[in-house]
Each structure stands twice: as C-alpha cells, then as structure tokens.
Amino acid sequence: MEKEGKSDADNRSTITVNVKFSGRSIPVEISDECTVKHLKSLLQPLTNVLSRGQKLIFKGKVLVDEITLKSSEVGNGAKIMLMASQGLHQGDGPIRKEASNLPTARRMPEAMRPKRDVPQVPVVKSQLERWKATGVVALSECNLKVLPDEVLTCGPSARVLDLSHNAIQHLPAAINSLSSLQKLILNGNEIMDNSLSWEELASIKSLMVISLNQNHIATLPPEVSTLTGLRQLHIAHNELTGLPSEIGLLTSLEVLKVNNNRIRSIPESIGGCVSLIEVDLSSNLLVELPETISKLKDLKALYLRNNGLKSLPSSIFTQCCQLSTLDLHGTEITIDVICQIEGWENFDERRRSKHQKQLDFRVSSSGKFDEGADQS
C-alpha cells in the first residue's frame, strides 16, 4: 500500500554549508529546515564565538536568526561568511586558522618560557643556609629540569617552595620530606598528568597552597581529594577538560582558579567544597553550571567570563548570600536574564555596598550592574 503522504522527516533535506571564518572553511551538515540561530549554535564549539557574537552573511545579506536556511535560500554547498564580534567568545578566544592544527595546550608567552639552552644554576652553600633560615626555597627562573637534591635537605624548615618558570617535568616522591611545606609553586613548567604524586603531597599535612598555572595538565586524578587541608588550588592555563567528582571532598578549599582551560562541565560535587570563597572558571567551554554551586554559602566572588553560559543556577542569589562579585562578560547571559532570577535585588545590594566607595568617588560611571551581562 502506498503512503498517502510524506512525514516531516522525509520533507527535510540535509545540506552541507561551508562557513568562512578567519581564513578557513568550516563544513557544517544541517537540515535546511533549521533556523539560522541553530546553525550559530553548531558553529559555537567549532569557532569559540558565542552565538550572539556571530554575524552570518550570505550573498551580501545578513541572515536573520529566526528564519530557516531554506527560507533564506541557503542550499547545499552554500558559502557563508562569519564575522565575529570582539569579546563575545568562549575559551581563550576565537579559533584562528593558525591555531587550527595546534594542540589545545596553552602556550605561555615567550618571555615567560625558561631558557633551556642556559646551564642549570647550581645551589651554593650560602643559598642553602638562607633557605633553612627563612623557610623560603626560591628557585624561580633557574633553568631547572629536576628538583635539586639540596632542596630535600631543608626538611621541616622549608615552608615555601617556589619552582616557577623552569622546565621541571617531575617531582620526586621524596618531596614529602618537606614536612612543614605550606606553599608549592610550580607555575610555568612542563608538568603533565603523571608528573606529581598527589598521595605523597597529601602526606604533607601543612600544605595549603598549590599553584600549577601554565603547565600541561589535562586531567586531575581522583587522588586530589586526599589533599583535605588544601585551601588554594590554582591550575589556570592548562589543558583541563573537566574536574573530578572527588573534588567535592576538599572541604577546606577556599580558592579555586581553573580559568583558561577547556572545561566543558563542572561536577555536581562542587557543592561539597563548602569553604569556597572565590571561584574562577573564566575562559572555558561551559554552557551550564550545576545547581549545587548554590550550596557554596561562603562564596563571595564567581568569575565566569568567556564561556557559553546562557543561564545561572536558579537559587544562586538566594543561597549564596555572600556573593558580591559576579563576572559574566563574554557569555550569553544578558541583564534581562539576570534580573529574572530570584534574589537578584539582594545580590545587587551587596554588589553596590561593596563598590560604594568607588561609586562615591565616581570611579565607576554608575551604580548599575556592570560586572558582566550585556543589555542584549
């Protein structure tokens, strides 16, 4: 028996359009019954440009969001030009042609990279004596590839170990001999996923700050949860795509900075980090936040700049009663969305109170919400 009519699916036609952006051509398969707005949503993860920051031009005309591709006369093989608005992007910025064939590693500025052709600076006796006397082991920019054995002889006298901007790839398990260490700074090295023994670090009960900015860490292991005394964790400008669910066990953590990575989602367990005061998730690939982030009663500052977020957890203003700083620049969230969230007025009052001194002296132009959400 013949069918009396075709279904909607039969009437749809899948086409391939070629979007020109920043010197490259991006092929996208899509139904011609889809709207221009839907095409923009598909282009967002391919270009890092937020939907509302995209202007699509076809045959000299700007395509309208609500119109279908078919109605816009966009057919198979059509060439569309994408123009990106400055600042409306996720991650570190739009994906350019020159970066399209590179790994996602965050490359530190040339001036900050260690000069590997320069010999390693030797440790002298007077330096070792100073370390033991002050408790500060300062070895930043010393062209190190390994931790000098002399550092371990400091034992419990070492409180701060600064190894930033070297070429260190691995820390020995014997690092736990620095039993009174409070701060471990490893910014700008060659640290990767297996470079650290988190369990050995956890055995240093005094350790409160770990800074691993500008390295090559793609995954945080579940063992990070063993650092129960940790108060600050800095892993900005790495290659993280997510956070382990075990991070919720860090109940003493006060500062979490994981900006400028490739994080696509935050685990619901983040609500377990009940001591968090400051969280920086800027320049990642987030499209939503878990409702459990509202459990952070002590949260005062939340930085979300340059993500694909379109909304916030519904109870963030009513439950995060200390929140006074919220950075939403370069997201899809507009001021209209913000004002509809319950508790907005109380948050705005806290924000105004915090910045009252600047407002009184006219450092800021007005008392309006100016920390993120655009008007439209």
Would strands 160-162 and 136-138 be described as parallel, antiparallel, or unpaired? parallel
Dump pLDDT digits (tens) for 289-321.
Answer: 999 999 999 999 999 999 999 999 999 999 999
The encoded tokens of residue 157 equal: 């006298």
- 37: nearest Cα among 83, 69, 73: 69
Distance (Å, whole) CA 47 – CA 255: 30
- Domain ranges in the chain are 14-89, 112-360
Contacts of 329 (CB under 8 A, 6+ apart): 87, 305, 306, 371, 372
Q: Residue 183: enclosing H or E segment and its boundaries?
A: strand 183-185
Confidence at residue 139, expressed as pLDDT on a 0 to 100 scale: 96
Read off the pLDDT band of 86 (50, 70, 90): confident
The encoded tokens of residue 228 equal: 């129960």
Question: Topology of 14-89 in CATH?
Answer: Ubiquitin-like (UB roll) (3.10.20)
Distance (Å, whole) CA 243 – CA 266: 6
Dump pLDDT digits (tens) for 151-205.
Answer: 999 999 999 999 999 999 999 999 999 999 999 999 999 999 989 999 999 999 9
- 335: nearest Cα among 309, 370, 304: 370
Confidence at residue 119, expressed as pLDDT on a 0 to 100 scale: 53
In this structure, whether the domain defined by 112-360 belongs to CATH 2.60.40.10 is answered with no
| pLDDT at position 41 over 80 | yes
Please, are residues 44 and 50 in contact by the beta-carbon 8 Å criterion? yes
- Look at phi and psi of residue 330 and say left if phi exceeds 0, alpha if psi is from -120 to 50, else beta: left
- How far is Cα of residue 291 from the mean position of the Cα atoms in its chain? 18
Confidence at residue 95, expressed as pLDDT on a 0 to 100 scale: 85
One DSSP character per residue, 313-349 reads: -TTHHHH-TT--EEE-TTSS-BHHHHHTSTTHHHHHH
